[in-house]
Amino acid sequence: MTDNRSRIAIALVSVALAGGALVSMLIDRRSAGHEFSWWSGAVLDLAVPVQKAVAAPIDFVRDAVRDYMAILDVRDQNAELRHHLAAVEEENLQLREALVAGGRLARIAEMRDDFEVPMLPAELVGLDVSAWFRSGLVDRGRQHGVFSGMPVINEQGLVGLVTATSRSAAKVMLLIDRQSAVDAMVQRSRSRGIVRGAHGDDLIFEFVVRDADVQLGDVLVTSGLGGVYPKGLRVGEVTEVSDSDSKMLRTAAVHPSVDFGRLEQVFVMLRRGPTMDLLYATEDGDSADASQPAERPRS
């Protein structure tokens, strides 16, 4: 009850002040150019805080609505910018992949001209990594012209050898497998030896001490002997030359040219050497097709 009386009293005072201010304004309008009278000035002075008090809630609501609308606009702009940024990032990713693929294809095109062997691109879809076996699975098989005994490379160098095939897939023994053995030579001095898989991703180069010239930083390439790999495929780089108890043989640690930790796309050389042709002739009966350059299959 007391609250209602207070509200009524405040309302009456406000109305009275407003009315007084209106009357004072009318009187002063008639006496333009004169100073306010003491009582009209007092009425106006009292009307100012009342008007501010009345306008404050209205201003607050108006500012709140304006800020809320601004927040909505910012949110919409942020959503649009995020969408645009995602599209730009996706486009940049595709461009980077295209540049990487373009570099690989250019290098492979040069290698194809050097070896005069058709090459089939394939994707590495699986890895079998253990302490003793290092192999990979690619998405190309016999229907694409891929047979056991065919070398596998990428733009960095020698990857491995196809050891088994199905209609649409092939298993590749990687160069770093312990059963892998590649007849190789030092590109600089032409000293020959055998590159074998070792622990982890490293290789071992075994060479005869007599007339051998092997130094740190030497690049090893396939020698072409043995009838498995064509001559000139990059194998790796010598990182350490160690002594051996044998008077005939020494070894060198070799870092492979291919980064097997990032291996994605490979190329199968669609021709196998005579040694592999004889080895697999009785197993798959495809020696006549695999020993000759194959026509470029449909990818």
Cβ proximity of 270 and 150 under 8 Å: yes
Across the chain, the runs of DSSP E, i.e. the strands, are 119-129, 134-138, 151-154, 157-165, 170-174, 181-186, 192-197, 203-208, 219-222, 234-242, 249-256, 265-269
5-9, 25-29, 59-63, 206-210: which has the highest mean pLDDT?
Answer: 206-210
pLDDT value of residue 295: 46
43 CB contacts (<8 Å, ≥6 apart)? 17, 20, 21, 24
Q: Which two tokens stand for residue 253?
A: 């640690």
pLDDT value of residue 138: 95
Check whether 98 has a pLDDT greater than 60: no
The vertex-228 CA angle with 223 and 232, nearest 5°, equals 30
User: What average pLDDT does this structure show over 49-78?
Assistant: 71
User: What average pLDDT does this structure show over 133-139?
Assistant: 91
User: What average pLDDT does this structure show over 207-235?
Assistant: 89
Cβ proximity of 173 and 180 under 8 Å: yes
Lowest mean pLDDT among 20-29, 201-210, 219-228, 287-296: 287-296
Q: Which two tokens stand for residue 168?
A: 């649409």
pLDDT value of residue 88: 64
pLDDT value of residue 226: 84
pLDDT band at 177 (very low <50, low <70, confident <90, very high): very high
CA–centroid distance for 161 within its chain? 27
* Averaged pLDDT of the chain: 76
Q: Per residue in 255-267, pLDDT tens?
A: 999 999 888 889 9
pLDDT value of residue 288: 43
CATH superfamily to which 119-290 belongs? Rod shape-determining protein MreC, domain 1 (2.40.10.340)
Q: If we measure between CA atoms, which residue out of 177, 128, 119 comes closest to residue 151? A: 119
- In sign, the C-alpha dihedral spanning 53, 54, 55, 58 is positive
Check whether 287 has a pLDDT greater than 50: no
Amino acid identity for residue 283 in this structure: E
pLDDT value of residue 66: 77
Check whether 208 has a pLDDT greater than 70: yes
